[in-house]
Structure 1
Amino acid sequence: MRIVISTTKLRVFLLSALGALFVAGCAQYAEMESGKASAPQPRTTQDSEMASNVPVAREGAASSADELEEVIVTGARPSDVGRMPAGAIEMQNAPVTGGFAGAASMRLMVDLDANADFALRSLSSDEELWVIAKPTASASSKDDAHPGTGAMVARFTDDHDGPTATAKELPLPLKHTDVNAVINGYISSVNVTQQFENPFDEKIEAVYLFPLPEKAAVTGFLMVIGERKIRGIVREKEEAEQIYREARSQGYAASLLVQHRPNVFEQKVANIEPGKSIDVDIRYFHTLAYNDGWYSFVFPTVVGPRYNPPGSEDPVRAVPSDDISETGSGTAVRYLRPEERSAHDISINVEINAGVEIEELRSSHWIDAQQGAPERASVALARQATMPNKDFVLDFQVAGRTIKSNMLTYVDPQTQQGYFTLMLYPPALTGSLARQPMELVFVLDCSGSMRGRPLMQAKNAVLAALTHLNEDDTFQIIRFSDNTSQFGNAPVPATPENLRLARRYIESLGGSGGTQMIEGIRAALDFPHDPKRFRFVSFMTDGYIGNEVDIIGAVHDRIGESRIFSFGVGSSVNRYLMERMAKEGRGAVAYLSPQDSATDIMNRFFDRISHPAMTDVEIDWGSMAATDVYPAKLPDLFVGRPVVVTGKFLGQPSGVTVRGRSAGETQRVRIGGSDSDAGNEYVAKIWARLRIADLSDRQAWQSDPYHELAADIKTTALEHQLMSDYTSFIAVDTSRVTEGSRGTTIHQAVPVPDGVSYETTVGDGQ
């Protein structure tokens, strides 16, 4: 295994002429061709050894010695470098590798920063440390424009068109995704392997946009080429992208992982040789959701097509599979047409250790399940369910109706900094208490992406909710797409006549147009609140928008005394938006998949809001000096909906006391402390991920003229080696220059989510 490290400082003393070293190595890349590249042809047995005639652009790399502060050298094993703290490490007689020539040996002095030290401490005896090239000068504008490397996707059609045409398989690089998850209690550790293969007769760069859970703390990134394993590290995003461009232009195999949203990532793999493959392993941790006795493990498989209102910054655009334009801001997701398909499939294996008896399993997909011990289960995705076009959801119910609050702790052995995470469950509350009158506001997304099954599910959910209203309740119904309209000018009493008219209004709604969700937010939260009633705002949407930050900011600014319950409707919803709306709205989130019963979902919703919530929640930390606790403001505790609280502490972990009010009375919950477990190292990662999420949310509404929030995000991400909006994973294999010309960039096209209409979401890409 080799590890790629890009240090921030590197002093190089050459024993021979350094100028010749770089000139010879870079001369072959000086030529640049212009124009568009043709689509590469699928590789066949007959032409596998034939040279490609496809014209390609060759990117310049005319760097000089003065422009480089780091050079490419061969790996040094721990026995050579030693496990040392941050400081100077001297390596002698390290032969130069890659495309550089002209010096037989060199001596270099490396000033290791915190990131390099982090990687050194993680080395094992069979791993190597790699220092890779990073020019200080900006990459050329021509390189940024990718001349001659348009987003080419080979597309094959039948001899005839029309509804009888057979779906054709596109030759795309992503062949398989393998997911292996281990669940211990409410923490899951997940390894994702993406297998890229080059089916063409020239080198390619593969680009793939994909989702991960919105709370995932991505902690590992490994590029596997044959028997070689190159571990990536986290660098500042601009630096990582610069390293990737340089490695790509010089012919090295490289991988870059970039975060576009907390739940949307982009994988780039450069210089995959014809007929060969490169695997990319991604590892992350996250906490499981818990609702009414059920834990939920979710693995999202496809990014839903987003609507981007005019003026959206960094939009995620939906375009057809053969769109080759490089114009437009933001990032484009390419979607397969209904008559197209990809060979990409997925396998999922989940090992569960719930800690208590597992009573029942249920899944969104066909699964093969085995249960040994009562608290353990092994689950695998069945062979007939391997198409990655909807979220994989695995729920497991644990024994006992009362789950105790509990705390996990970890103390860093080097810094003695402690981290904790506790799952706080509300105390058992009596259901016989009369609930207060409520003001229910239902907001329905009637945009084009909701047309069909999703909108029908949302409408059925609201219809089911109306049956729970009492005559002293009031309600309002708001729809939005390109514009908004509503059932009445103001909330109306839940009389039989008003309910009859409301049902007629709901049944008349259809799905079309864009998703101007912010107008729905304003319509739901801007009218005066009746102080005699609790206001609950229920959003029914798939969340397919590109301006999530605007929505989160609007909720924060307008929430007042309201509570938002977000209902994600569909097979692959934008869970990041759903979770953040509920967080800022001090409510909760629920998901309504195509196979769920809308009536059951709304029954549970009303069961929850009909019981008194625990409000004004505070934690007495006792002797435990807790700091940087997230969420900073604890939300209300609803029956069956625990809250995960994570923070830092110094000293020994001790018990804490949670206080709050419910039905006019003070409630207390005592949570005992626990000894720090070295195996709980992931707790520090989870804390760092939550800190990054909190800082990112604050950017939606807090002025930051000096970019202090961005700096804090970057510092936290680099210290804990995590992905963020400002940091990326980079891995480069410098052991050899790949053969052949640069080739073409291939964007992996994906299916639209199950139940979503291609025509009303992607269409012609406009």
Structure 2
Amino acid sequence: MSCCGLLTVQKQPVPLKSIEVQLEVRDHVATVVSTLNYENKEDKPLEAVFVFPLPGDAAVCHFSATIGQTQIVAEVKEKQQAREEYDDALSSGQQAFLLEESEQSPDIFSLSVGSLPPGESASIRLEYVIELAVQADDGLRFCLPAVLNPRYEPQGSEGASVQVTSVPASLVPYSLSFSARVSSPRPVSKVESSCSLDPLQYLNTEQTQATVKLAAGHKFDRDVELLIYYKDAHQPTAVVEAGQASAKPGTLMGDPVVMLSLYPEFPQSVMSSVSSCGEFVFLMDRSGSMGSRMNNSESHQTRISSARDTLLLLLKSLPMGCYFNIYSFGDSYKHLFRKSVKYNQKTMEEALKKVEVMDANLGGTEILKPLKHIYSQPCIPSQPRQLFVFTDGEVSNTKDVINLVKKNSGSHRCFSFGIGEGSSSALINGLAKEGGGHAQFITGTDRMQPKVMQSLQFALQPAVVDISVTWDLPKGVSVTALSPPITTLFQGQRSLIYAQLTGQVGASSDAAEGCVTVKYSLAGHPSQNQLHFSLKPEEDTGLTVHRLGARTLIRSLEMEEREHRGQQDGGVKEKVVELSVQSGVSSSFTAFIAVNKGNNEPIRGPLVRRDVPTADSKMFSRIGCYLKGQSASSQSNSKQTSAFPNKSSHIHTATHRLFSVHTLFDFSSEASSSRDADTEPKQPLRDPLLQLVSLQEASGRWVLDPALAAALGKTSEEVEKTKPALVNQEVWATILALIWLHGFKMNAKEEWELLANKAVSWLCAQNAPCVAECVEAGNTLLGCAVQRDVLGL
């Protein structure tokens, strides 16, 4: 049956008609202005509620509403007070608007548009600022989340309130227009996107300013991801921003704030001399949603399939002598070994057999329990623990998970991977930030492998310790850090520092300079990096740096409040509320509230509620595989999460997703070893690179056999006949594999570089004769021209 008009799943009219987004990027900071246009075409007054995602580290700093010719600018107030004002306004027939952050996850917001009269239109303006994350290829990533996935609520969590209504993305009944302006001290080399863009337009001959927008006809059916590339991106920079003229000197908003962007460069001698070791723990999401495709294409891999391929590469790339274990989780969790085991041929083969049959069949997303179990395991002396977390990030208890990682950050580094669209940026970024690691997002047509292998290279870098930041400023200028202390440094990775500058900043002379020194110890070697910067404040920065600094401090205080909750500490929540109100930046304890008091005519008639649906591009693939539902006779023990508890007037029951029960594969080594031994992989490895990689042994060598010949595209006879006489079979096989990688797969070098290095180390240890002859014969056989020195031999 087809219905006319713009409808929700419940066949109700949708009041949200369009969204316009303008992005302003300055170097590596972005300001985002979203305008949401509502229209009430019904004959009754309307309340519209829209639950939607924002980037987890965004600082929401402006919220206003325009009705007819009247503009109402919202104020930041303590959350309960704002809710009461909103409810009071609605009950007295006034128009009101409420914007609040979820208490469980800082990347979910609820916007309530109250008492919109029949025939009336309202335009909502929402503004936030955000730092852009640096990707593996030095691109700066901006993501406008369109997809809000249902968040799995752990068993035993407290009750529900505002729910997420999702519709298939193709049926989202509102349009999107999106444009971006990019400016930087360095030339903009290119802008890429997962969506179709109009050509990049440069605004000056230096190419330091450019505009770009989405191509016409874009459907808001997936996240809008922009990757911005600058020339010479790794230059440290400093921005000093003048305080707000109306704010009191000595306060955060009244004083200048500096933002430092640092790129530490480690001494090459130290980096090359470090021996590889560590305990590598891989934690893999096997909830039902991991069975979804990586993007909307039916031909594309599922998330769990891509994760299996990635684990293969990781296991082949680990250094000999390290320790490892694999955990997987859904409703419950499994571990491959009782405790981490030494990496060798036997343990690697045992792990690969289990990885081949991993499936997305473990139900919900209970990530806290396996994390607690991992942290309960004693660390292995001289083997630093490195935790790799793979998830599509659909959990509701984000803050609890991040808090647990932070508590254990002294004993490990955590590398996180958000798989597919809609993964929680708050969870993925929070895990890496608090765990001293690195976050990566794998969306659209991205291959997971290059990003994961880059993180493995970071994990193999020695841990940087004894990090300190010292300031050298002119007399009369003092500094107050707004950022938490730096706990992690990686070669070439950016670190951002915010600080408040008090005193006569830049007043004495335009040439006044400050200097910041970062000292640290790397593998026992003391090192330092310095940055000199001008103290003259930049003009017309729109308080972006102040708001990001305030957001950084608010997040640190919120974390502190959670740690001390229930203790007689107090005062931290009050500090957050005070800072949030002063800076105009949202927090988990405040909300934006706007009431239209100018219209004296109360709105007549009962208020009708409409929940605006959010895009879920995987809804149909999730039905039957996402959450445990409830039949008429059985009680459900999991549900779609509440993002906004304690808001009694805003209760909505969403459509249930049902979970078809699979036979759960037991991933523990004891229970599954007997029946897994004969289990065939679900499908053969078709990718030639993965086929070759799967044949490499833990030591780094390859064995000469028919499988290797097939992977190289040759017969066994061809491979054996061309082998130089004095060379043993393993040396010949390994040299052939290296030539093939360099000759045919240079475009994927970041995926195989570590395992190739292992192969070279093994070859060098053999001290084999006739290596030059082998390389020449191998090139002839495979039709390549790879030089011996390129192979590292």
Residue 656 (structure 2) aligns with: 765
Which residue of structure 2 lines up, in the alignment, with residue 370 of structure 1? 200
Residue 259 of structure 1 aligns with which residue? 101
Residue 617 of structure 1, aligned match among 464, 467, 475: 467
- C-alpha separation in 1, matches of 2:618 and 2:216: 18
Conserved? CA contact 1:615–1:662, under 8 Å: yes
Contact preservation (8 Å) 2:239, 2:538: no
Native 8 Å contact 1:437 1:473 kept in 2: yes
Please give the alpha-carbon distance, in whole angstroms, between the structure 2 residues aligned to 1:454 and 1:725.
32
Residue 348 of structure 1 is matched in structure 2 by: 178
Q: What is the 5 A alignment of 1:440-459?
A: 440-452=280-292, 453-459=302-308
- Stretch of structure 1 that moved more, 751-760 or 207-216: 751-760
Q: Distance in 2 between the 1:510 and 1:658 partners?
A: 45
Asked if the contact 2:277/2:460 (under 8 Å) is kept, the reply is no
Which of these residues, 731, 735, 738, is aligned with residue 598 of structure 2? Answer: 735
**CA separation of 1:628 and 1:700: change in aligned 2, threshold 3 A:** farther
Secondary structure of residue in 1 paired with 2:112: strand
Deviations 1:270-318 (A, max 9, x none): 12223332110011111111234221112212322111113335xxxxx
Instruction: Give 1:488 deviation, angstroms.
Output: 1.2
Give the 3-state SS of the residue equivalent to 1:394 in structure 2: strand
What is the TM-score when the length of structure 2 is the normalising length? 0.70
Which stretches in structure 1 are left out of the alignment for 5+ residues? 1-40, 45-151, 157-169, 314-327
Give 1:602 deviation, angstroms: 2.2
Aligned with residue 574 of structure 2, among 708, 711, 721: 711
Q: Does 1:219 align with 2:82?
A: no
- Residue from 698, 706, 718 that aligns with 2:560: 698
1:643 maps onto 2:495 in alignment: yes
Q: 1:660 to 1:419 in 2, by over 3 A?
A: same
Distance in 1 of aligned mates of 2:491 and 2:545:
26
Q: Deviation per CA, 1:633-686: give whole Å up to 9, x if none.
A: 212211232111112221337211111122332222111132122434222211
1:72-87 mapped onto 2 (5 Å cutoff): none
Cα displacement string for residues 187-241 of structure 1 (whole angstroms, at most 9, x for unaligned residues):
1111011111223222211000011111211111110112322211112222222
Supply the distance in 2 between the matched residues of 1:428 and 1:402 (Cα, whole angstroms): 13
1:394 is aligned to: 226
Q: 1:705 to 1:302 in 2, by over 3 A?
A: farther
- Asked if the contact 1:457/1:569 (under 8 Å) is kept, the reply is no
Matching residue of 1:277: 121
Are 1:301 and 2:159 matched, yes or no? Answer: no
The one-letter amino acid of 1:656's match is: V
- For 2:37, what is the secondary structure of its paired residue? strand
Letter in 1 for 2:309: N
Aligned residues of 2:418 and 2:440 also touching (Cα < 8 A): yes
Letter in 2 for 1:716: L
Could you say what secondary structure the match of 1:171 adopts? Answer: coil
What is the aligned partner in structure 2 of residue 18 from structure 1?
Answer: none
2:417 is aligned to 567
How many Å apart are 1:404 and its aligned residue?
2.3
Cα displacement (A) at 1:747? 0.8
Per-residue Cα deviation, 1:496-552 (whole angstroms, up to 9, x for no partner): 332222222112112231211011212322212122222210000122111122212
In the TM superposition, what whole-angstrom CA distance separates every residue of 1:568-597 from its partner, at most 9, and x where no partner exists? 111111110112211221112111124111
Does residue 752 in structure 1 map to residue 613 in structure 2? no
| Match in the other structure for 1:654 | 514
Q: Please tell me the residue identity of whatever aligns with 1:765.
A: H
Where does residue 668 of structure 1 map in the other structure? 528
- Structure 1 residue aligned with 2:46, among 176, 192, 204? 204
Structure 1 753/531 Cα, relative in aligned 2: closer, same or farther at 3 Å?
A: farther
- Measured at CA, do residues 247 and 505 of structure 1 come closer, stay the same or move farther in structure 2, by a change above 3 Å? same
In terms of fraction of residues, the more helix-rich structure is 2
Are 1:435 and 1:611, in contact at CA under 8 Å, matched by a contact in 2? no
Question: What secondary structure sits across from 2:198 in the alignment?
Answer: strand
Secondary structure (helix, strand or coil) at the match of 2:93 reads: coil
Q: Quote how far apart the aligned CAs of 1:567 are.
A: 0.9
TM-score by length of 1: 0.73
Equivalent pair of 1:608/1:640 in contact (CA under 8 Å): no
Match of residue 289, structure 1, among 130, 133, 149: 133
1:553 corresponds in structure 2 to 403
1:436 corresponds to 2:276 = yes
What is aligned with 2:431?
581
Match of 2:356 among 503, 507, 527: 507
Question: Do the aligned residues in 2 keep the contact of 1:198 with 1:277 (CA within 8 Å)?
Answer: yes
Unpaired segments ≥5 residues, structure 2: 250-254, 293-301, 506-512, 630-654, 658-793
Query: Structure 1 pair 385/520, CA: closer, same or farther in 2 (3 Å)?
Result: farther
- Give 1:750 shift: 1.8
Q: Please give the root-mean-square deviation of Cα atoms over the aligned residues, in Å.
A: 2.5
Question: Hey, what's the Cα distance between the residues in 2 that align with 1:379 and 1:346?
Answer: 15
SS at match of 1:333: coil
- Secondary structure of 1:712 counterpart: helix
CA distance in 2, matches of 1:376, 1:554: 42
- Tell me the amino acid that sits aligned with residue 381 of structure 2: P
* Secondary structure of residue in 2 paired with 1:638: coil
For residues 391 and 435 of structure 1, the distance between their equivalents in structure 2, rounded to whole angstroms, comes to: 41
Cα separation, 2, equivalents of 1:411 and 1:229: 26
Counterpart residue number, 2:22? 180
The one-letter amino acid of 1:290's match is V
